Amino acid sequence: MSQVLPAEGGLRRVIGDGGSLPDGEVQGLGPEQLLALYRDLVLLRTYDERSVIYQRQGRIGTYAIYWNHEAMQVGSAFALEERDWIFPSYRECAIGLLRGMPAATVLSWWRGHPAGWWNPEDYGVASICVPIATHVPHAVGFAWGSRLKGEDRLAIAYFGDGATSEGAFHEAATFAGVMKAPVILFCNNNQWAISTPLSAQTAAPTLADKAVGYGMPGLRVDGGDVLAVYEATREAVERARAGEGPTLIEAVTYRSAPHGTADDPSVYIDEERVEEERENECVGRFERYLMRLGVLTAAQAEETRNDALAVMREGIAEAEAELPADVSLVFEHAYADPPASLAADLEELRRILRDV
């Protein structure tokens, strides 16, 4: 039996504050990789900011904002190989963009259009899971299956702090430990499950502490520090590839935007704390780091933002150009031989839609 290590207490950090807190560096990341990380961060940030605007304009439906979660998504995904699979929650809806998925696909998903249904096999990105934590066992099963086949590909599941209270998380982590599944359980702890704070979610001192109970290491990292996230995930990837099984990563941040476009956090959140977090948001933090290093100029940053905006402009135009799906789709794929009552229901639905 391998020894179960206690989870980490402090948060791993690489990026300094430009003052008393010194900058670190990650071995193996040169200017080219650092700029690639920056482009990914800006792309996801732009996707998120534009999506809130599109939602306000009525061009997409309700949207789960991930502003200031980009470093957790980009840093961890950067540590993976293309053959590894990503199992996202709704908070990572656009993570497929890092794998070449068109923005139009994700925007179509939020428009409730079937053009937003991608084949997971095409990108190594599973479908967005909206129920909480129920996709975590899928990632574990996938990774377990990969190990049984002797394939060298692993899985990562993303979920929030609230998800760690779910039975599905507990069962998945239990399986991961027992089956020595090459999986990374990545918790983006933004300290709020809509209006429920972490203190009402668990009595555990940290979420990483839960790892001990499943017989896996628990790492804790500053979720706003893309390099620290990358380094911690790389360590988990190396463990998984070496056949040493799963790792739980707790990336800690503070939710600095509403849960979603239908949420009003002013009734429950500490606005001052939010303001503090927004000033230290993850994309700006990395941008300033790169400028201190002399790797990024203001002109390059501007160009990167403009490129991302162009991706979004094309994406929304493409999504809006899709013809509306026929409502018959709602009734398909459930029965090999549909009962007659379904045909009547479809007719009724068509009549209602004609009348509105």
Q: Measured from the CB atom, is 139 or 229 closer to other proteins? A: 139
State the minimum distance, in angstroms, from the CB of residue 138 to other proteins. 4
Name the site residues for other proteins (rule: CB under 8 A).
62, 85, 90, 109, 114, 117-121, 126-131, 134-146, 148-149, 155, 167-168, 170-172, 174-175, 178-179, 333-334
Q: Which of 331, 334, 325, 333 is nearest to 349 (CA)?
A: 331
Alpha-carbon gap, residue 67 to 259, rounded angstroms? 10
State the minimum distance, in angstroms, from the CB of residue 340 to other proteins. 21
Q: Measured from the CB atom, is 118 or 254 closer to other proteins? A: 118
Q: Measured from the CB atom, is 62 or 328 closer to other proteins? A: 62
Residue owning tokens 């520090």? 225
Beta bridge mates, 86: 125, 156
Q: Where are the alpha helices (DSSP H) in the chain?
A: 31-56, 70-78, 103-110, 120-123, 136-149, 167-178, 198-201, 210-214, 226-241, 271-279, 282-293, 298-320, 340-355
Q: Measured from the CB atom, is 6 or 131 closer to other proteins? A: 131
State the minimum distance, in angstroms, from the CB of residue 287 to other proteins. 33
Active site residues: 255, 259, 268
Q: CB under 8 Å, gap of 24 or more: what pairs does 289-293 form?
A: 289/15, 289/16, 289/23, 289/227, 290/34, 290/35, 290/38, 292/18, 292/23, 293/23, 293/34
